[in-house]
Amino acid sequence: MITNPNHTSPAPATVPGSPRVALEAWVARVASLTCPDAVVWCDGSPDETARLTQQLVDEGKLVALDPERRPNSYLARSAPGDVARVEGRTFTCSATPEDAGPTNLWRDPTAMRAELDGRFAGSMRGRTMYVVPFSMGPVGGPISQLGVEVTDSAYVVLSMGKTTRLGPEVLRAIGAGVPWVAAVHSVGMPLRDDDGTVHEDVAWPCNETKYIVQFPETREVWSYGSGYGGNALLAKKCFALRIASVMGRDEGWLAEHMLLIRLTSPEGRAFHLAAAFPSACGKTNLAMLQPALPGWSVETIGDDIAWLRPGSDGRLHAINPEAGLFGVAPGTGVDTNPVAVETIAADTIFTNVALTDDGDVWWEGLTPEPPAHLVDWTGADWTPASGTPAAHPNARFTVALDRCPSRAADLDHSVPIDAVVFGGRRSTNVPLVAQAPTWAEGVFMGATVSSERTAAAEGTVGELRRDPFAMLPFCGYDMADHWAHWLDVGAQLGAGAPAVFQVNWFRKGDDGSFLWPGFRENARVLEWIARRVEGSVPAVESPVGLLPDVDDLDVRGLDLPPSDLDALFAVDPDSWLEECDRTEEFLAEFAGRTPSVFTAVLDGRRAALQASATPAAEPAVQVA
C-alpha cells in the first residue's frame, strides 16, 4: 500500500498474494524512482473528472470555453516544441536490433533502462503521480487487452478517460490475473529539485529532451519529456500499435493503424471495411463519412486503430480497441466532416486550436472565412493579416466516441472484415482505386504504399516517404516480418480472407488541382469496392491492379470531365517502372527478410508495365 500525507485517494484494497499485489509493488517502485508528492489511483468517475478539470483550469493549464457555445469543453495550449510525435526520439528496445528492423530506432534494452532511470529519477518531485488502469476494448472482450499508465499529467488522465475504458472493473480483472501492459509517463519537469529548490509550474510542462521507449518482450512503455497526446497517451500508438503489434505477431493476430466502418448498401447488405491511412490523410473523414450516394450509409466503428483476429468462422474479425477520438482539427469543417463537427460540439478537449473572442474555438477549415480576431494557438493575438496559421496544423480534439452520431450501436462487438483498404496522399501515379488480384499482391500493395508527409509527424510537409501499412512509425518489430505475418494470416484464412484495395483521393491534374472531389463523394469509390466484394461488377486488368470499368463507377451528378476521369485511372508505364525501381530499393533495405513472394509480384508488375509500353500491347480486358 502506498501512503502519503497528501494522498487523498487510497490504493484499492488487496488480497494478499493476489496479482494486484504485483501491480501495487510496481507502482511503488515507480514512485520510489520518480519521487512524487502524492500517488492517486484513478477510477474515471465523473467526480474525479470534474475535480481534475477544475484543477487544470485553476492552474491555467486549461481554458474553459463558453458553456453555451461549447458545453463542458476546454482548450489546452502546448509548448511550441511539443506539438507532434517525436519519431527521432522513439525507440524500440527489443532483444536484438534485428528484431526491431531498419524502420525502428533500436537501443540496447539494458543500456536504455539505465539511461531512463537517470532521467526519471526525481522527475515527479512536487507533482502528483496518477495511476490509470485502463482497458483497450471492452473489459473481458476476446480481443481486448489491459494496461496501467502512471503519469504526472492530469491532462493525460482526462484524455485517457475519453479514449480508453477506465474504471474499477479493470482493477478487478487485473486482480483476477488478466495480464496487463505497464506504461510510465512523466513530463520531465519536476517542481522541486533534490536539494529542495522550488520551481514555478508552467501551463504546459515538458522537457526539451524526450524519450518514447517500447520494450516489446516485457510489454512496457516508458515516455519522458512530452505532454503531447501521441507521446503521452501511452494506450494509443505506444501500446495499441507498437506493443500490440508484437503481441499480435506472437499470438496470431494483428494490431493495425486502421479505421473501421460499416458500409450498408441500399439493399441492406452490410460490408465492414478496415482502412489504413497515414495520419492527417483523411482517416477521420472516411470513418465518419456521410455518403453522397442515395441509399448508402456509413457507421463509425473506429477512426484510427484496429485489432484483427482470425475467427472460428474462417474470417478476419476486428474491434476498435479505443473508446474515443484523438483527431486532427484543421481541415475538419461542416463541408468536409459534419459528423465530426457535431461530435465535438461538447465534452471535448481541444489542443492547439485558436480561441475566439466569444469563448469558442476555431481552426483553418472550420468555416470558409476566419473571424476578424482570434487568440492563436500560441496565445498571441491573430488576424487574417497575421500571415501565420491560427491553429497549429496538427491541432487536436479529444472526445469520447459515444458522442459520435454515426457510431455503430454494437461498438463492443467484433465485426467480420470484408475488405482491407490502403491509402495515402499521392498527387501522381496511383489510381483512384485499384484491387489486388491476390492476397499476396494485396500485402505487397500495403507494404509498398507511399504518401506525402503531413504535419502529424516530424519532417518536411509534402516530402514523399514509404509508409507500409501506414505503420512506419508504429510497427513494434521488423517491418518485413510484419509483412510475412500478414501473409501467414492470409494463408490461415484462405478463401475467407478479405479483398484488398488501394485508394488515392489526392491525385492532381496538370494544373495542380485535385481531380477527384473527395469527402462525401468518396462513397462512390466505396460503392465499387462493395460491389466487387459481392461479385456484382467486373474489373479491368492493369499492371497495378484491377481497376473499375468507368461505366461501373457511379459519377452521376458530378461535374467531372471525362478527361479527368481518365486521368484518375491513367497508368503511365515509364513513371511506374521508375516507381518499381524505387520499390526494389526500398525492399532491399530489409536485409533479406522481405518475403520472397514480393520478388515475384514485382517482377510480374514490371513485365506487365513493359508489355503495356509497347505498341503491340493488347488492350485491357475485364475480369469477373
Residues annotated catalytic, as ranges: 281
Inter-CA distances, 322 with 225, 259, 298, 325, 348, Å? 24, 11, 19, 8, 16
Distances (CA, A) of 206 to 75, 83, 190, 539: 17, 11, 10, 53
300-321 burial, b at 16+ Cβ within 10 Å, e below that, comes to bbbbbbbbbbbbeeebbbbbbb
Cα separation, 273 vs 318, whole angstroms: 10
Amino acid, res. 531: R
Give the three-class secondary structure for 38: strand
C-alpha cell at 117: 532511470
Give yes or no for a contact between 61 and 157, defined as CB atoms under 8 angstroms apart: no
Torsional sign, CA 83, 362, 424, 537: positive
| ∠ Cα 262 306 496 (to 5°) | 65
- What is the 3-state secondary structure of 156-202? HHHHHHHHCEECHHHHHHHHCCCCEEEEEEECCCCCECCCCCECCCC
Q: What is the C-alpha separation between 452 and 454, in angstroms, rounded?
A: 7
Give the gyration radius of the chain's Cα atoms. Answer: 25
Distances (CA, A) of 544 to 6, 69, 420, 430, 530: 64, 49, 17, 9, 20
Q: Are 372 and 357 in contact (CB under 8 A)?
A: no
Distance CA 530, CA 525 (A): 9
Report the relative pairing of strands 74-76 and 63-64 from DSSP bridges. Answer: antiparallel
> Which three three-digit cell numbers place residue 269?
447488405
Distances (CA, A) of 323 to 24, 183, 244, 437: 26, 18, 16, 35
- CA 491 – CA 511 distance, rounded (Å): 44
For 389, phi then psi, to 5°, come to: -65, 140
